[in-house]
Structure 1
């Protein structure tokens, strides 16, 4: 496709819209948009870049097509100072103050004589020449009324330069790209809210349930150890009653930070607030003794908060004498029973399920049928 023909461009618009609509993340949307836009405009390569306003630079997210040496499909660190591309700021500002909307502009390897749209950037011209390309079209990607980044499409040597119609078409493609990125950002935010605790910023019970079942499946398949640390923050009710809920919230946030700090020693662990004064840490791939050491450190560090009455901590691990674990529910019940016993004993150290094998009271308590013992705390697992 060479960028001409009304029917072809309508099909190209439909293809780009379909591609970005199928994306599940902003990066997937950028990858899909870069590829579709390159084909639609008859370019040899394309790129999507993000404008990092707070750092005054453009970060290239994706390069697509016939790439030059040094260009990577998804570069880890390809950034350019906005000082080298001032037209991004100047051009957008001019268009907004004129009361119009920003649209695409063209640069060519020939420099100002061939440039369209009132923009001219020595850096872009130098880059075109260095990489053997004849011209490029640059279209701003706008989200929520602000310049989010840009769509860049270039043509290689021997190809005709872009013209005004191409620039207008690039503006349409950038608008579709913006819609796709906005949609995936909204979905990402919905997922974040669905799996996080709004007060502490930690994961929530839903996230733990999902990750735990996946971890237990992995354990059953290859024996990877899975451990769960369940914590009950002591004294929260007293803090709320005597000092107010705002102070109680600070205690919860503070404990969440301590738990996160300790959990960082177990790479890949998930730290979560289950609700109220209950928290947990899920570890995959670490031996039981490593997890217990972290739980012990947690008990010590919690005293530094200066509020509350410490923490009751229970640990359950497939890497311990707790019997066969075939579901996340059983591991949760074991960790919960260990935490319950720690609370009943006013223990300043974690209680570990299986340490009293084969007659460990924690394991017996966890394996009791629901409702069998009136003093047995109701477990959070679904029976």
Structure 2
């Protein structure tokens, strides 16, 4: 391959990695780009698992042998068997003929019908992150020292792509995660709910939203300090995450302050109710706070057309306030008799706020013993 084609291959590799989102896709783009750039039949990218002292294969790409997996569950090798990992990081060319190497991975590649390979460590922030290898089969030209130099360049591009992926992943995490509880934040909930309601409108899929408000947070803050209040929020967030895990595909989020939610898309309402009841029970068992008020709104109930995320929020919010006003230890479901019927009337009342959820606060009386001042 001429210098111009190799330069083009480097650019294409970098572009393919930049376009990928999840780490498996990034690894696949790296392996495929390196294999094409070096004219190999097979490529693999491995990551260094320093805690276990192993080099773990992330992806195998190209012509796979029988039984070989593209994304192996646990294909790994001792780090001490790799001189380019345990010692001075360097790229090398290696014959895979029988007896040519004591490297256990080289032996594994030989058994899989590969004749030679080039191996290059991927160095990230001055430390070895993992290893890139490209192999050829019998009858194909052997790799040269020039190929090893080029493999080192490709490994550097792969390391840069991995660093970019980590930075973007961290930026996405910070943008969509509540810093205190680790749950999804309001931005993440809004995006997911908009998507869920759109699917409901086009396919009829059930969307259910649980909105919950911790009782007594202000009292905890005033009595024990805000550090204790933060601990209550953290503990409740952990309980919510535990309950959400019982609902397939559910998203647990913190909307802000003492308000949290659970969003389920395409799951039956019965599972959501069960999780919400469990949440109320577990929240009541915490040694601080006074439990939680939960409201549920679902397209599976008789709440009228749900054409926007805003309306589903209004319904769930109104149901939550009716639960708080009644001092209920069980969730109130909008559209289901009693307080649930009142919730629909509250959400659809003339002048009901559209996007400002806190505008509903004046429409529900606090439960006995609850503070009436803003929290």
TM-score scaled to structure 1, two decimals? 0.87
For the Cα contact (< 8 Å) 1:57–1:79, is it kept in 2? Answer: no
1:138 counterpart SS class: strand
Return the match for 2:215 from 227, 230, 234: 234
Cα deviation, 1:149-188, whole Å, max 9, x if unaligned, reads 1111011101222221111110000000111111112111
Partner of 1:133: 114
Question: What is the CA distance between 1:135 and its match in structure 2?
Answer: 1.0
Partner of 2:283: 302
Root-mean-square deviation over aligned CA pairs? 2.2
Question: What is the CA distance between 1:369 and its match in structure 2?
Answer: 4.0
**What are the residue-to-residue correspondences of 1:334-345 with 2, within 5 Å?**
334-345=315-326
For the Cα contact (< 8 Å) 2:47–2:56, is it kept in 1? Answer: yes
5+ residue gaps in structure 2? 362-375
Partner of 1:105: 92
Matched, 1:174 2:155: yes
Partner of 1:225: 206
* Cα distance change, pair 63–290 in 1 and its aligned pair in 2 (3 A): closer
Question: What is the CA distance between 1:59 and its match in structure 2?
Answer: 2.3
Task: Write the distance in 1 (CA, Å) between the matches of 2:220 and 2:74.
Answer: 50
Matched, 1:20 2:14: no
Partner of 1:81: 77
Partner of 1:10: 7
Question: What is the CA distance between 1:262 and its match in structure 2?
Answer: 1.6
1:307 counterpart SS class: coil
Task: Write the distance in 2 (CA, Å) between the matches of 1:253 and 1:40.
Answer: 49
Partner of 2:231: 250
Partner of 1:91: 84
* Cα distance change, pair 201–358 in 1 and its aligned pair in 2 (3 A): closer
Matched, 1:207 2:188: yes
Matched, 1:47 2:40: no
Task: Write the distance in 2 (CA, Å) between the matches of 1:371 and 1:323.
Answer: 16
Return the match for 1:151 from 124, 132, 144: 132
5+ residue gaps in structure 1? 96-101, 114-119
Q: Which moved more, 1:355-364 or 1:270-279?
A: 355-364
Partner of 1:280: 261
2:337 counterpart SS class: coil
Question: What is the CA distance between 1:127 and its match in structure 2?
Answer: 2.4
Task: Write the distance in 2 (CA, Å) between the matches of 1:264 and 1:93.
Answer: 40
Task: Write the distance in 1 (CA, Å) between the matches of 2:236 and 2:314.
Answer: 22
Task: Write the distance in 1 (CA, Å) between the matches of 2:280 and 2:320.
Answer: 12
TM-score scaled to structure 2, two decimals? 0.89
2:359 counterpart SS class: coil
* Cα distance change, pair 345–359 in 1 and its aligned pair in 2 (3 A): closer
For the Cα contact (< 8 Å) 1:25–1:185, is it kept in 2? Answer: no
Partner of 2:373: none
Task: Write the distance in 1 (CA, Å) between the matches of 2:241 and 2:123.
Answer: 36
Task: Write the distance in 2 (CA, Å) between the matches of 1:39 and 1:289.
Answer: 51
